Amino acid sequence: MTVSAPTSTTRTIDLPGGLAITVQEFGANTDGTGVLMLHGGAGPRSMAGFAAGMSQHAYVVVPTHPGFDGTPRPESTDTVADLATAYLDLLDALDLRGVMVAGSSVGGWIAAEMALRDNAARISCLTLLASTGVAPEPPLQLANPAELGPVRTGELAFHNPQLRLSPATLSPEQLAAMAADQRTLAVYAGDPFCYDPKLRGRLHRVTVPVLVIAGERDGITPLEYERSLAGCFPRATFRAVPEAGHFPHIEQPAAVFGAIGDFVDTEVKPDGQQPGRPSHR
């Protein structure tokens, strides 16, 4: 039996304060629940396959952080905290509850900040994929793609060499777009790069279940960094994914979907509603 490809639509939603967010929606909002997927520095396309797979089980929304993919970024939107507030406004605008927020890399940091600010209790759980956000404990370090360059970044980000981008194969326009996205990432990631020194001390206030997924071969956010991040949450589940780097949802999607399914079955189950419950098939 073939499963039909999920349809997706793209639109722009105006939020309070004048911020406009471009979102890609997979599936349909039929019951007021869903999955919000937040991309990292690789942009929204890095979440496309994951979103399509998850949309077999839930309504999925993938926003583009303002400034990525050529979208406008107001000067007043320049921190992860700004994005966290904007995406809580987005959940209000879409009137979603029981939401799983799944974030990749800096998207995971945004997800954690959302959970800390979710006074409307719209979020039911977090799934953090190779997330940044907390200060690394020495000698651990977070890699900065702007310092490494695209070739070395690809080597550290992907276990499978075939998935690494070669700059030589990209057009000048593609290279310029990548450079623009990296400049936008630098704005949000701040200094120090990709973490808030005070965040670790606040995460005990996140009361929803949290799944932290780490690629065992991740050279961007090391495995032990992710394990330490999981330890910051009172209700955390940690899963390491073999043969995966910084994008386990791209390199090992079956393992990631399996981990999410187990997590929802054992830790979430909000009032019988299970957004993002993938099967193991």
The range of the structural domain enclosing residue 179 comes to: 8-270
For the record, the structure tokens of 222 come out as 């090391």
In a domain, 147, yes or no: yes
In a domain, 2, yes or no: no
What DSSP designation does 220 have? S
For the record, the structure tokens of 219 come out as 């050279």
Q: How far is the C-alpha of 207 from the C-alpha of 270, rounded, in Å?
A: 13
Query: Residue 6 has what pLDDT?
Result: 64
Q: How many domains does the chain have?
A: 1
In a domain, 50, yes or no: yes
The pLDDT-based confidence of 279 (bands split at 50, 70, 90) is: very low
Mean pLDDT of 235-261: 98
Q: In terms of DSSP bridges, do strands 60-64 and 35-38 run parallel, antiparallel, or are they unpaired?
A: parallel
Per-residue pLDDT tens over the stretch 181-213 = 999 999 999 999 999 999 999 999 999 999 999
Q: Give me the CATH number covering residue 116.
A: 3.40.50.1820
Instruction: Output the pTM of the full model.
Output: 0.94
Q: How far is the C-alpha of 95 from the C-alpha of 43, rounded, in Å?
A: 25
Q: How far is the C-alpha of 195 from the C-alpha of 198, rounded, in Å?
A: 9
Mean pLDDT of 125-139: 97
Mean pLDDT of 151-165: 95
DSSP per-residue string spanning 133-198 = BSPPPTT-----HHHH-HHHHHHHH-SSGGGS--GGGS-HHHHHHHHHHHHHHHHHHTTTTTB-TT
In a domain, 105, yes or no: yes
In a domain, 280, yes or no: no
